[in-house]
Amino acid sequence: MYLTNVTNTYDHYCFEWISRRLDIQEVEDTEHPLSMMPYKSRYKLQPYLKFHSDNLLSLLSFFEHIPEFRSLSNEAKKTLVQRNLRNLLRLNTTEPIRSGYFVPPASGTAHALWEYIFGEHMLNDFGNLMIRYRGLLKEPIFTKMLLVIMVFSSHFSVTRPNDVFHVYACEISSYDIFQLQSFYTTLLWKYLIYRLGEVETIQVYTHIIGLCLKCVDMGEQVEKNFIDREELNEIVKLTQTILLV
């Protein structure tokens, strides 16, 4: 029942927005080829801002429909969102790519915009991440369950004294959150034991640690890039608007 609920909820709230964005992007690339646009108009952030906003809001909707998350106090939910959601964006993107639902743009206006925002090196790092963990992510339920497990983290982001995305006004019970995380971790463990056997499941859980740490590392680089580059501050402001409600 829990696995079915997580799968159906994720497919409804996270896969559907990817499909809508693909349809929009195809029209944008067709109607406004990069080579025909004035240089100063080539890097409009609006398409990425819409993509980023949809990604954040779809994840929020997904978590709000997980019963254990929904039952938390508003302050607890707000704290978990501020501490964990940003780095879960990177993890969330792996599932639509793994399933073939979303193919990162390799050319055209969309690719040029992503390269302008993230830089070639960071995009290559993300591509290498997908290659490295392709075998790990082969189970469709895996990423969806891992997102739920990691949202129930005390802090799935680098602690900074001046975190522009987090208000340290609320303390939550780490024990209570750990209990929820432990429940879903055990659920995934039992499922993988059934599907893969004990030895391979142990190997998978070992690689999970590396995947999560890599998501945090990449998230730190992405956020520093957004904050340090004045022309990308709109992304920072949008993220704050959604997280600091």
Q: Tens digit of pLDDT per residue, the chain (245 long)?
A: 788 889 899 888 887 665 555 444 544 544 455 444 444 444 678 888 988 898 899 999 999 999 999 999 988 898 899 888 888 887 887 776 666 656 666 667 778 888 899 998 888 888 888 777 776 767 778 889 999 999 998 877 776 667 777 776 667 778 889 999 999 999 999 998 999 899 998 988 888 888 888 888 888 899 889 999 999 999 999 998 988 86
- Tokens coding 41: 């108009």
Q: What is the pLDDT of residue 35?
A: 47
pLDDT tens sequence across 219-242: 889 988 999 999 999 999 999 898
Q: What is the pLDDT of residue 23?
A: 45
- Number of Cβ within 10 Å of residue 75's Cβ equals 12
Q: What is the CATH number of the domain that holds 237?
A: 1.10.565.10
Q: What is the pLDDT of residue 24?
A: 43
Number of domains within the chain: 1
Using DSSP, state whether 52 is helix, strand or coil: helix
Q: What is the pLDDT of residue 38?
A: 42
Rounded to two decimals, the pTM is 0.83
Q: What is the pLDDT of residue 67?
A: 93
Q: What is the pLDDT of residue 104?
A: 63
Range of the domain at 101: 2-243
Q: How far apart are the first and last CA of the chain?
A: 32
Closest C-alpha to 88, from 67, 61, 59:
59
Q: What is the pLDDT of residue 190?
A: 93
188: Cα separation from own chain's centroid? 19
**Alpha-carbon distance 72 to 91, whole Å?**
23
Greatest CA separation for the chain = 58
Q: What is the pLDDT of residue 42?
A: 47
On whether the CB atoms of residues 59 and 89 are closer than 8 A, the answer is: yes
DSSP per residue, 92-126: HHHHHHHTTS-----SHHHHHHHHHHH-HHHHHHH
